Amino acid sequence: MILSDKAGLRRSLLAARAALTSQDIEGAQAVLGQRALELPELAQARTVAAYVSVGTEPGTRALLDALRARGIRVLLPVLLSDNDLDWALYRGAAHLAPARRGLLEPDGERLGPEAVVRADAVLLPGLAVDGHGTRLGRGGGSYDRVLSRLDRAGAAPARIVLLYDNEVVARLPKEPHDHPVDAVVTPSGVRRFAP
């Protein structure tokens, strides 16, 4: 099935997430974190750019702590007024502060939008990924800017999305600003995409 209405698809996917129970979310977080930690791209990384999951997003919090415990430098986004992203070091859950749009952001020193180009892997939020690695985000464009920044810098970190099983679809509409991801991690497994 080809899904061509991005706004309608976003509404549908967000409604499915809203129907999840806290047990569904916690169970998926544990499995997703374990599967992600098994990825060679994360196991061998020195720096990972990630994000703090909020609400019903596939959970990243246990994964962030596990990466940090392994001595991996974890960068988290800080949303700027123009929807671009700055980055700061993750120093633990006690150093996360509430921010705009219900997000949680690190309270430490800002490293600048270009800090992401030094990451070995980038964990991207999303609502869906298709069989070609096309990612559907929430529509704000923040991560499209990140992916463009990586391309302009010639940086090639692993680009990985964490999703629920039902969020991997056959095909999404692709626009010129869309950048493919390398892999998607779901509770039932890892799927890689050819470049």
Sign for the pseudo-dihedral over CA of 64, 68, 72, 74: positive
Q: Is 149 annotated as a binding residue?
A: no
Residue 143 marked ligand-binding: yes
133 annotated ligand-binding residue: no
Q: Is 124 assigned a ligand-binding role in the annotation?
A: no
154 is in an annotated binding site: no
Q: Is 192 helix (H, G, I), strand (E, B) or coil?
A: strand
| 7 annotated ligand-binding residue | yes
Per the annotation, does 136 bind a ligand?
Answer: yes
Residue 51 labeled ligand binder: no
What's the CA gap between 195 and 139, in Å, rounded?
24
Check whether 140 is labelled as a binding-site residue.
yes
What whole-number distance in Å separates Cα of residue 96 and Cα of residue 108? 9
Residue 192, annotated ligand binder?
Answer: no
* Residue 6 in marked binding region: yes
Whether residue 126 contacts residue 13, with contact meaning beta carbons closer than 8 Å, is answered with no
Annotated binding-site residue? 10: yes
52 is an annotated ligand-binding site residue: yes
Q: Is 9 annotated as a binding residue?
A: yes
Which residue shows structure tokens 């991207």? 124
Is 174 annotated in some ligand binding site? no
Binding site for ATP: residue ranges? 6-10, 135-143
Q: Residue ranges for the binding site for substrate? A: 52, 57
